Amino acid sequence: MHILGVDVGGSGIKGAIVDTETGEFVGERHRIATPKPATPEAVAAVIAQLVNHFNWEGPVGCGFPASIQHGVARTAANLSSSFIGANIDALFSDVTKCSCFNLNDADAAGIAEMNFGGGVGQSGVVLLITIGTGLGTAFFSDGVLLPNTELGHLYLPNGKKGEHFASDAVRKSEDLGWKSWGKRFDKYLQQMEALFWPDLIILGGGASKKFDKFKHQISINTPVKPAELLNQAGIVGAALHAHSKSSQSVQSKG
């Protein structure tokens, strides 16, 4: 089944039609700059542009930089604070005339990795960490997602939030080398291991492409590996989410 997947970011909103059986794009990805200011109405208008670009009439999945609870945005990272409390499932559906299903962007990336990437066939507890402006997380137990975990906000023993100590933005702003930053990131991983004892940790986001430059600084016992879908993960996971939600809707109506 083909679904339009959308990845909403602070600088760009990207979309592609996804084959949910294979996880592959059907045709080219299309990107539109994120509007400034990124209000709910302005972002909805861009998603409508993507729908029109693809001449799309089916379900739409959106990976979104916020905690999403039953279609309502509870936070807003890198977007207008007016998103907080907005029912974006309803808003985007109304503007696009398509059924839109939103989820947290890290959760979207995690769903993609569990279905088509590094998490395929992995039982037990899997933690995906996206390393970027912050530290996003997606948490799975035997393949079932626990949505909206914000484990980048956990405090480390040094008194700092994980993402304020070991995100890629911190690496850049403090001009840290990969080894120095890797030691910091390892302290964050140590905390994740001590609290959750995952069976596998998958690293996504921009910094994961440089895994070879910091992997030797990782000291935990939990297996750690880079994500496989890279920039496609958010779009693919969003499409899979919409496929699942739309199927549930059809079944409930039947």
User: Which CATH number does the domain housing residue 238 bear?
Assistant: 3.30.420.40
pLDDT score recorded for residue 18: 98
pLDDT score recorded for residue 231: 86
With respect to residue 112, please indicate whether it lies within any of the assigned structural domains. Answer: no
Strand, coil or helix: 19: strand
With respect to residue 115, please indicate whether it lies within any of the assigned structural domains. Answer: no
pLDDT digits 0-9 by tens, 151-184 = 999 999 999 999 999 999 999 999 999 999 999 9
Q: Is residue 28 located within the same domain as residue 97?
A: yes
| Strand pairing class (135-141; 144-146) | antiparallel
| Strand pairing class (12-19; 2-8) | antiparallel
Cα separation, 69 vs 102, whole angstroms: 9
Q: Is residue 47 located within the same domain as residue 101?
A: yes
Percent of the chain, pLDDT > 70? 98
Cα separation, 152 vs 174, whole angstroms: 18
Q: Is residue 126 located within the same domain as residue 95?
A: no
Beta-carbon contacts of residue 72 (< 8 Å; ≥ 6 apart): 85, 86, 87, 88, 89
Which residues span the domain enclosing 101?
2-107+232-253
pLDDT score recorded for residue 247: 85
Cα separation, 63 vs 168, whole angstroms: 20
pLDDT digits 0-9 by tens, 51-65 = 999 999 999 999 999
With respect to residue 113, please indicate whether it lies within any of the assigned structural domains. Answer: no
Q: Is residue 43 located within the same domain as residue 13?
A: yes
pLDDT score recorded for residue 254: 55
> Which tokens go with 234?
């958010």
pTM, whole model, 2 decimals?
0.95
- What residues are paired with 145 via a beta bridge? 140
Q: Is residue 15 located within the same domain as residue 92?
A: yes
Cα separation, 95 vs 28, whole angstroms: 24
Q: Per the structure, how many domains does the chain have?
A: 2
